[in-house]
Structure 1
Amino acid sequence: MSTRDRLLALFVVFLWGLNFIAIRLGLDHFPPFFLAALRFAVMAIPVMVFVRFPKVRVKWFLLYATGFGTVQFMMLFLAMELGMPTGLASLVLQTSAPFTVVLGVLFLRERMTAGQVIGLVIALGGMVLIAVDRVHGTDLGVAALLPIGLTVLGGLSWAAGNIGGRLARPDDSLRMTLWMAVVATPPLYLASLVIEGPAAGFESLTTLNTETGLLALGGLAYLAIFGTVIGAGLWTTLLGRNDASRVSPMSLLVPVVGISAAFVFLGEVPTVGEIVGAVIVVAGCAAGVMARPRSRRRTASADGAPGSGADSRLDEPTALACAGTPVRSGG
């Protein structure tokens, strides 16, 4: 993973950490499923009119759109509506990182070095410390199990979307991200109609001139532009040219930004345990991302044919995905 890609990943981490403040502002006014649908709907019409559909493997694109775009935000928004604290949500959702690493090993045949494993375990230890501290400190008890479980499901969906986005192999990652908004909108709005009812969404739109409505509009704009177009677009690009096991651990830094932003904007004061846990997360991410990658150089036989290693048994797309090599399609 190049220095440029690490810096881009850190930029996405910063944008996504602030995402949770925008979500909280939106949920203070909109119903959760309606907010999720509205987030993508504001982009869907101009995308369909002005943006050409990318060259992409459709079935993997649908996995990306469903996991990353639909199910993740249904679970996350509902969890936060049910009482999941903003800072804690930013933490628990990062279960997507270990889920992505495991799925990458299982389905992309990626290989992890000892340094990556150690770094991931350290970062997860920091997350566990923060989670235990938050649950104990907020006295959520049994009531915290449902929103925490929903957020973990959101993390699993994000991980599945990461794998789908990698296997989709688009000719343009940004256009794939934009079209993800088109595909994700209908099921989210259908869920809103069935579960929340049409009146809930309509009422929230008619009261946009209130203080909570204006703040929600600001949060919605941030989610659409910075969280989706810029953040998700860059993230998909990074996954397209690096192993998922090297990119996804960077998302473990999102809670550091999320908890800090919740303190600054929402008055959620971090405890000593959270601060210590955040330092551990940063250390683990640094160890995992900076670890020297495992060599994938194939041995050549006397006649110049590829060696008989495991990579040679993969079909070309899977082998390239394992090697983190981007494919440039024509057109």
Structure 2
Amino acid sequence: MRAHHLAAAVLVAALWGFNFVAIDVGLDSLPPLLFVALRFVLAALPVAVLAPVYGPPAPWRYIAAIGLSMGFLQFGVLFVGMDVGVPGGLASLVLQTQAFFTAIFGFLVFGERPRPRQIAGMAVAFTGIALLGLDLESIAATALGLTLVVAAAAGWAVSNLLMKAARPRNTLHLMCWISLIAPVPLLALSAAVDGPAAMATALRGVTLETLGILVYVALFTTLVGFGIWAYLLRVYTAATVAPFSLLVPVFGMSFSALLLDEPFTALKLAAAVLVIVGLALNIGLVPGRIVPQRSART
């Protein structure tokens, strides 16, 4: 991998890791479902430019389905889970179990049988997640919050399979278009759960800090980060690019410890090691044996 592409891959992992700090801070000012809805409203703005030129990058049934699954099952449940009791750094780690849910659902839906090392990776990683449940107080989490973040990882897996079935012409464009769908059910749920009065109060109280967080999670995390990632996947093989996702919880937990004083306990460190080792097994990353190779699409 070229040096500037290597730097770009690390940058994406850092952007996605810091995203959990931004969410943690933003939840102090905005109700979680309203926060997610505003995130997608901002992410949908490029559609105004894309629509006349490119049109939808996939059939509308897939855009609607991905918008609903990503908006509510993935991000809606994640933000609520963090709001009721999961610190940002810990959430960045637990959410990576989406890789295993994707493999499980892929087997159930597409008949993609996981390899033995992938099964071993799932067992190791979920052992790490189970370890977290032994002492929720020491990791500053609640059982409900941890359960919801695991559910959000499963929701991410559903989005992954829908994206695979959609076969979009351009993945970045798809992210913009599905952002048109997601805000509608999220705003309706926020109105039902939080009430219109609480939503109006939160919107009136938006500060420059909150606005900056919204811009970050909508544009830098979603469009810039995902755009760079999609480009790298076009230039290199998936086996070369995928391992960099292992850096996301490393950055997430490090930023949270430095900026939010999130406790970094021995239990959390042990769980992190198990999850990351499980992910490494899942993608076939064997130290000293994998030599990244570029694909033919350069």
Aligned counterpart, 1:56:
58
Q: Counterpart of 2:190?
A: 192
Q: Residues of 2 paired with 1:237 and 1:57: CA distance?
A: 22
Per-residue Cα deviation, 1:35-78 (whole angstroms, up to 9, x for no partner) = 1111111233x333211333313333333222223332221222
Q: 2:70 aligns with which of 46, 65, 68?
A: 68
SS in 2 for 1:98: helix
Q: Which moved more, 1:168-177 or 1:102-111?
A: 102-111
User: What is the SS of the residue equivalent to 2:46?
Assistant: helix
Give 1:247 deviation, angstroms.
Answer: 8.1
Residue 93 (structure 1) aligned with residue 69 (structure 2): no
TM superposition shift of 1:265: 0.7
C-alpha contact (below 8 Å) 1:40/1:181 kept by paired residues: yes
Query: Structure 1 residues 135 and 241 mapped into 2: Cα distance closer, same or farther (>3 Å)?
Result: farther
> Hey, what does 2:37 align to over in structure 1?
37
Counterpart check, 1:178 vs 2:176: yes
Unaligned runs of 5+ in 1: 293-324, 326-331
Distance 2:262 2:99 in 1: 25
Are positions 1:148 and 2:108 aligned together? no
Deviation at 1:272, TM superposition (A): 2.0
Q: How does 1:231-242 map to 2 (within 5 A)?
A: 231-233=225-227
In structure 2, C-alpha distance between the alignment counterparts of 1:12 and 1:114, rounded to whole Å: 30
Superposition TM-score, scaled by structure 1 size: 0.73
Q: How far apart, CA to CA, are the structure 2 residues paired with 1:155 and 1:167?
A: 19
The one-letter amino acid paired with 1:81 is: D
SS of the counterpart of 1:290? coil
Give secondary structure in 1 for the equivalent of 2:86.
coil
Residues 245-264 of structure 1: matches in 2 within 5 Å? 251=245, 253-264=247-258
Q: 1:77 to 1:146 in 2, by over 3 A?
A: same
Match of 2:79 in 1: 77
Superposed CA offset, 1:288-311 (max 9, x none): 32359xxxxxxxxxxxxxxxxxxx
Aligned pairs (5 A) from 1:92-131: 92-129=94-131, 131=132
**How far apart in 2 are the matches of 1:9 and 1:191?**
35
1:19 matched to 2:13? The reply is: no
Any unmatched runs of 5+ in structure 2? Answer: 287-294
For each residue in 1:79-128, what CA deviation from the matched residue of structure 2 results, as whole angstroms up to 9, or x when unmatched? 22223222232233333221111112222333433333333433333344
- Tell me what 1:201 maps to: 199
So what's the TM-score if we normalise by structure 2?
A: 0.80
| Residue 273 of structure 1: aligned partner | 267
**Total equivalences in the alignment:** 286
Moved more, 233-242 or 25-34: 233-242
Residues of 2 paired with 1:127 and 1:248: CA distance? 21
Q: Which has the larger radius of gyration?
A: 1
Tell me the residue number matched to 1:318.
none
User: Does 2:214 correspond to 1:214?
Assistant: no
Q: CA RMSD in A?
A: 3.6
Once the 2 structures are TM-superposed, how far is the Cα of residue 145 of structure 1 from its aligned partner?
2.5
Measured in 2, the distance between the counterparts of 1:67 and 1:241 equals: 28
Deviation at 1:278, TM superposition (A): 2.5
> Using the alignment, how far apart are the partners of 1:27 and 1:70 within structure 2?
16
* Residue 204 of structure 1: how far off its partner (Å): 2.2
Q: Counterpart in 2 of 1:47?
A: 46
**Shift of residue 24, structure 1, vs aligned partner:** 1.2
User: Structure 1 pair 251/123, CA: closer, same or farther in 2 (3 Å)?
Assistant: farther
For residues 67 and 230 of structure 2, what CA distance do their matches in structure 1 show?
A: 12
Q: Structure 1 CA distance, aligned partners of 2:70 and 2:4?
A: 24
**Structure 2: distance between partners of 1:281 and 1:4:** 28
Q: Distance in 2 between matches of 1:113 and 1:90?
A: 26
Deviation per CA, 1:256-280, whole angstroms, max 9, x where unpaired?
3222211011001201232233233
Q: What's the offset of the Cα at 1:9?
A: 6.3
Q: Quote how far apart the aligned CAs of 1:179 are.
A: 0.8
Change (3 A) 1:245 1:146: farther
* 1:122-147 deviation line (CA, Å, top 9, x unaligned): 33333443x2365151476xxx2222
Tell me which amino acid in the other structure corresponds to 1:197. G
